[in-house]
């Protein structure tokens, strides 16, 4: 997901990057350098690297800097809670693969920094989002992901709440429900890199729903082309997103107008997860037909010269010109079951 703090002032604050969008809760960003220390859990006891040389966004980046965590060098500099080096290495490799994919297919380079934190350090760096809800924020972008899925049980649905079909699918892959959720959770970082890719590719989505949709499109394309053996994990992700659960907000316009409230209420309502699930399902349908050509057409329709805030309806009309099937999809979404009196 995009960080909650994206909005209108960011265009004036972003350094030469007109597509950065943030809700105005934070001031303009200032550059700082983070320091790195040795991970005492590493048998060598030696420092991994100097900290990232990129400029971090002020608030979150300052909190991350204050942790003085070790960092791994590489195309994606990865800083992590001491004791979680193996997790950091795994996630860095996963995202480096996506970075290589987009560089080859789109000829873009993304200066992403990855931060992998446990449940104790998370609230020191992120004051709005609950533990394990990944996000990307800043220019250059910083992705924040969970180091310890065992401490994020509430992030995933319980096995007893699931349909028997998905449990059988998990069993066929030789996994427990918790392990399948952890593997699916690791994939979510690919969505966060997808946001940074869309920015670097020069697309100004102009609306929250399209921004999230495009990030998932990049993510799904990477898994489809480079890690097809993991595609089944989207079934696990979608099971948790509860696509058939009635929600208060169901239209694209409502997502745009109530984005912050929907995200903050998600632990109680799963409304944000529901929206992400609907967007992922649309990605799965469209990618099989349009492939990566769709993103090239989107870039032509949403160029960098655009104003950051286009609006839900205007964005939908432009996408409909590329693929008219979006008209029926949006109407179907608006007809999904609703519940009342559940203000976020």
Is the overall model pTM greater than 0.95, yes or no?
no
Q: How far apart are the first and last CA of the chain?
A: 18
**Which residues are 116's β-sheet partners?**
80, 145
Strand, helix or coil for residue 179 = helix
Q: Which residue has the higher pLDDT, 220 or 51?
A: 220
DSSP element (H, E) containing 7: strand 6-7
DSSP, residue by residue, 33-69: -------TTSTT-----PPP-SPPPHHHHHHHHHH--
pLDDT digits (tens, 9 = 90+) for 189-217: 999 999 999 999 999 999 999 999 999 99
pLDDT digits (tens, 9 = 90+) for 14-63: 323 323 222 222 222 222 223 333 343 443 333 343 333 333 345 778 88
| pLDDT(6) > 70 | no
């Amino acid at each position: 997901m995009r960080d909650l703090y994206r909005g209108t002032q960011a265009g004036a604050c972003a350094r030469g990057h007109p597509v950065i969008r943030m809700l105005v809760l934070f001031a303009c960003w200032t550059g700082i350098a983070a320091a790195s220390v040795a991970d005492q859990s590493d048998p060598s006891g030696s420092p991994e690297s100097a900290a990232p040389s990129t400029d971090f966004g002020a608030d979150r980046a300052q909190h991350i800097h204050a942790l003085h965590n070790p960092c791994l060098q590489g195309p994606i500099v990865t800083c992590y809670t001491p004791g979680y080096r193996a997790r950091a290495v795994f996630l860095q490799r996963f995202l480096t693969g996506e970075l290589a994919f987009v560089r080859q297919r789109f000829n873009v380079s993304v200066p992403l920094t990855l931060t992998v934190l446990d449940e104790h350090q998370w609230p020191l760096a992120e004051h709005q989002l609950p533990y394990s809800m990944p996000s990307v924020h800043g220019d250059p972008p910083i992705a924040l992901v969970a180091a310890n899925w065992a401490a994020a049980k509430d992030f995933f649905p319980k096995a007893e709440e699931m349909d028997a079909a998905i449990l059988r699918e998990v069993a066929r892959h030789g996994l427990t429900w918790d392990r399948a959720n952890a593997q699916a959770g690791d994939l979510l970082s690919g969505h966060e890199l997808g946001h940074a890719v869309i920015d670097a590719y020069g697309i100004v989505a102009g609306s929250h729903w399209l921004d999230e949709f495009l990030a998932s499109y990049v993510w799904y394309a990477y898994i489809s082309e480079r890690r097809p053996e993991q595609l089944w994990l989207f079934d696990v992700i979608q099971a948790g997103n509860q696509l058939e659960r009635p929600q208060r907000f169901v239209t694209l316009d409502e997502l745009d107008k109530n984005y912050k409230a929907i995200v903050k209420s998600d632990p109680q309502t799963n409304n944000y997860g529901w929206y992400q699930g609907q967007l992922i399902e649309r990605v799965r349908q469209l990618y099989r037909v349009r492939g990566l050509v769709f993103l090239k057409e989107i870039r032509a329709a949403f160029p960098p010269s655009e104003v950051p805030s286009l609006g839900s309806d205007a964005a939908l009309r432009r996408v409909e010109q590329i693929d008219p099937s979006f008209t029926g999809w949006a109407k179907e979404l608006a007809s999904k079951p609703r519940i009342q009196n559940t203000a976020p």
